[in-house]
């Protein structure tokens, strides 16, 4: 009977967590689809290779070895301990105990031993990460955009992971004691190379006490994981899922290449055709409702990939730490650009839901202006250091340059010297006010050198 109640409780919890997780994923998907279309379906084999190398292989994480290797431990722990979670799920649903053990025999002991070592590794890495974030003077964890929720979010995740790993090890420790005492239901299975050190903590307990610790830790662990599942898509930690599609859909062109805007190309082609009265091929029947704006003023003007990047960002701040503008005290922080984009698309998504799906004229706010200032945008040197540094191929620079396009082509807003540069290029074919005829002057000088 007690077993049945346990199983039912477990199923209800599992279903509830699954429901909230799926609902949240659906919302994120909807929000990402607010973005413009961009085709990232080409060069498939290269995309699989990029995902394998960058997301699975963590090739860009280990560029910084200390954080990179510890992250690798947590990543490996997460993936492999999930095999154990699968067993826990089956045990929970069917009321079994260590259901895999009879099938795997000696290999089961090896696996459990490996999981224990990984759990210890994850635990240690998370503690070190907590110290790095909260004690050590590491600049990228202390930027203005990390105050408040982002800092708490990071700490919550690390603390929860520490607690989960401790619960996992406590469960095994108590299980080991129960097995040694030959308690009913506790088959002899698994090896406990790490949790044996925790056994003294629980060895003085009665049989009922040991079972209570084992069951308590089991429930804490699995409920914690289900809670985590619901929490993660609201958190920066969502990168554990999105890192994979985000790298698959990477921009595969050279980092220096900036896209040519197709809408502009159409107009330029028309102008260059030489016929001032030439009109584009008659669109009579399929007239677009309104022309798409140039550049990005709000999240809907960004591509769905850029919005996916905003949800994939885990706020590690490697971009900001290598940004020359940020390093010299300018307002620009590439990480903040990504965080602002996510905050804004969340806001827009909520507003659309509140308006019953039809948002009409919007809320009078926009990403450009209300979240990201012109001063931030004009500090970028387009050096691509942020793009290079991102462990999962996010491009904050792409968003920055798209917003400059909106500033210039929609609002005609530029710092005065930039306007002067435009005028020079337009009139003299050079960013400075030199006549084109003087372009060859250096050849004259060379011809006259002795």
Terminal Cα-to-Cα distance of the chain (whole angstroms): 105
Residue 355: strand, helix, or coil: coil
In whole angstroms, give the CA distance from residue 422 to residue 402. Answer: 17
* Of 367, 364, 368, 366, residue with least CA distance to 378: 368
Residue closer to other proteins, measured from CB, 164 or 322: 322
In whole angstroms, give the CA distance from residue 201 to residue 7. Answer: 28
Residue closer to other proteins, measured from CB, 90 or 401: 401
Q: Does residue 260 interact with other proteins by CB under 8 A?
A: yes
Instruction: Give the sign of the dihedral formed by CA 214, CA 219, CA 220, CA 225.
Output: positive
Q: Does residue 316 interact with other proteins by CB under 8 A?
A: no
Residue closer to other proteins, measured from CB, 208 or 437: 437
Residue closer to other proteins, measured from CB, 254 or 360: 254
Residue closer to other proteins, measured from CB, 15 or 440: 440
Q: Work out which of 213, 307, 379, 392 binds other proteins, going by CB under 8 A.
A: 379
- According to CB under 8 A, which residues from 422 to 441 bind other proteins? 422, 425-426, 429-432, 434, 436-441
Q: Does residue 62 interact with other proteins by CB under 8 A?
A: no
In whole angstroms, give the CA distance from residue 402 to residue 22. Answer: 32
Q: Does residue 388 interact with other proteins by CB under 8 A?
A: yes
Q: Does residue 448 interact with other proteins by CB under 8 A?
A: yes
Four-point Cα dihedral 129, 134, 135, 140, nearest 10: 80
CB 356 within 8 A of CB 340: no
Q: Tell me which stretch binds other proteins (CB under 8 A): 126-134, 144-152, 164-172, 383-391.
A: 383-391
- According to CB under 8 A, which residues from 38 to 57 bind other proteins? none
- According to CB under 8 A, which residues from 317 to 336 bind other proteins? 322, 324-325, 327-332
Give the DSSP H/E element, type plus range, for residue 109. helix 106-134
Residue closer to other proteins, measured from CB, 225 or 403: 403
Q: Does residue 59 interact with other proteins by CB under 8 A?
A: no
In whole angstroms, give the CA distance from residue 292 to residue 310. Answer: 22
Give the DSSP H/E element, type plus range, for residue 81. helix 65-94
Task: Tell me the per-residue interface mask from 274 to 313 with other proteins, x by CB under 8 A, - otherwise.
Answer: --------------------xx------------------
**Considering the complex, what minimum distance in angstroms separates the CB of residue 441 from other proteins?**
8
**Considering the complex, what minimum distance in angstroms separates the CB of residue 38 from other proteins?**
14
Q: Does residue 205 interact with other proteins by CB under 8 A?
A: no
Q: Does residue 258 interact with other proteins by CB under 8 A?
A: yes
In whole angstroms, give the CA distance from residue 118 to residue 115. Answer: 5
Instruction: Give the sign of the dihedral formed by CA 296, CA 300, CA 303, CA 308.
Output: positive
């Amino acid at each position: 009977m007690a077993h049945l109640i346990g199983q039912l409780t477990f199923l209800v919890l599992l279903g509830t967590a699954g429901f909230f997780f799926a609902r949240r994923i659906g919302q994120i998907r909807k929000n990402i689809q607010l973005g413009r279309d961009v085709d990232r379906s080409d060069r498939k084999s290269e995309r699989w290779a990029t995902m394998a190398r960058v997301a699975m292989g963590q090739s860009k994480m280990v560029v910084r070895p200390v954080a990179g290797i510890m992250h690798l431990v947590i990543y490996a722990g997460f993936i492999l301990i999930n095999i154990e979670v699968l067993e826990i799920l089956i045990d929970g649903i069917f009321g079994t105990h260590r259901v895999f053990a009879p099938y795997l025999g000696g290999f089961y002991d090896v696996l459990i031993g490996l999981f224990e070592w990984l759990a210890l590794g994850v635990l240690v890495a998370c503690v070190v990460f907590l110290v790095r974030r909260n004690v050590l003077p590491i600049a990228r964890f202390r930027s203005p955009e990390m105050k408040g929720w982002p800092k708490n979010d990071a700490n919550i995740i690390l603390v929860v992971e520490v607690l989960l790993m401790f619960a996992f090890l406590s469960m095994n420790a108590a299980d080991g004691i129960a097995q040694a005492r030959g308690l009913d239901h506790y088959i002899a299975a698994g090896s406990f190379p790490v949790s044996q050190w925790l056994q003294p903590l629980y060895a003085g307990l009665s049989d009922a006490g040991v079972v209570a610790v084992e069951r308590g830790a089991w429930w804490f662990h699995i409920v914690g994981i289900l809670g985590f599942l619901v929490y993660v898509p609201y958190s920066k930690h969502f990168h554990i899922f999105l890192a994979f599609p985000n790298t698959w859909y990477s921009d595969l062109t050279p980092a220096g290449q900036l896209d040519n805007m197709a809408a502009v190309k159409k107009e330029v082609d028309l102008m260059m055709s030489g016929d001032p009265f030439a009109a584009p091929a008659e669109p009579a029947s399929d007239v677009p409702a309104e022309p798409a704006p140039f550049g990005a003023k709000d999240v809907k003007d960004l591509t769905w990939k850029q919005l996916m990047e905003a949800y994939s960002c885990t706020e590690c701040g490697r971009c900001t730490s290598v940004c020359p503008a940020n390093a010299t005290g300018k307002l620009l922080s590439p990480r903040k650009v990504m965080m602002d984009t996510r905050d804004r698309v969340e806001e827009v998504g909520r507003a659309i839901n509140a308006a019953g799906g039809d948002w009409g004229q919007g809320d009078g706010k926009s990403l450009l202006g209300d979240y990201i200032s012109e001063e931030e945008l004009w500090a970028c040197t387009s050096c691509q250091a942020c793009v290079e540094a991102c462990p999962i191929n996010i491009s904050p620079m792409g968003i920055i340059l798209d917003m400059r396009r909106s500033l210039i082509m929609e609002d005609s807003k530029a710092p005065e010297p930039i306007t002067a540069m435009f005028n020079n290029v337009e009139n003299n074919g050079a960013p400075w006010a030199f006549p084109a005829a003087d372009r060859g002057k250096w050849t004259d000088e060379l011809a006259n050198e002795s």
